[in-house]
Amino acid sequence: MDLKWYAHADAQNVRSLLLDVHDEVYADDADPFHSRERFSYFVDLWSGREDWTCVSGWEDGSPVGYAYGSQFKPGGWWKGADRPDGVRGRIFALSELMVVPRWQGTGRAQRIHDALVRSVEADFATLLVDSTHTKVRALYERWGYEKRDEAKPSDDSPLYAVMVRDLP
């Protein structure tokens, strides 16, 4: 799998890629929370941050998936949750990790994740995972994340497990 890195300056050039992969992942999901329109808001919000970084994976010229995020500003944390005790310093918020259905379960998600997390200078990585997705949560736990809290950032969002991982 080939990997490509993007920064804030590349956001507009990769926006449709991010939205198209999202559409493929959520093709059978009628929940308005997972609509392209709603997701585009989050893509623009996160990629608008100057330290936004993204890694995409490619096989034979087609996208496998991507991961992106940025550092929380000092004192920043997930909306609807309290920062756990002991989580201080530089904190990288992994906002999205998506892999198209064809490549799910092949280890490519972890390769994309690891490439992104290794590329940032942070003391911790954190992410949100839908609390009803127990298999996904277990996957993140195998990658070293620990559930530290729960959050419901908006009225129409799912309840998320707030997961944190120490970074070397």
Q: Is 137 helix (H, G, I), strand (E, B) or coil?
A: helix
The pLDDT assigned to 156 comes to 87
pTM: predicted TM-score of the whole model, two decimal places:
0.95
- Beta-strand ranges (E) seen in 21-145 are 53-59, 62-71, 91-99, 124-130
| CATH code assigned at 32 | 3.40.630.30
For the stretch 68-93, what's the b/e string if a residue is b when 16 or more beta carbons lie within 10 angstroms of its beta carbon? bbbbbeeeebbebbebbeebeeebbb
The pLDDT assigned to 168 comes to 84
* Residue at 12: amino acid letter: Q
User: Domain of 130?
Assistant: 2-166
Closest CA to 47 of 76, 67, 69, 25: 69
From first to last of the 168 residues of the chain, give the pLDDT tens digit.
Answer: 999 999 999 999 999 999 999 999 999 998 888 999 999 999 999 999 999 999 999 999 999 999 999 999 999 999 999 999 999 999 999 999 999 999 999 999 999 999 999 999 999 999 999 999 999 999 999 999 999 999 999 888 999 999 999 998
Q: Count structural domains, the chain.
A: 1
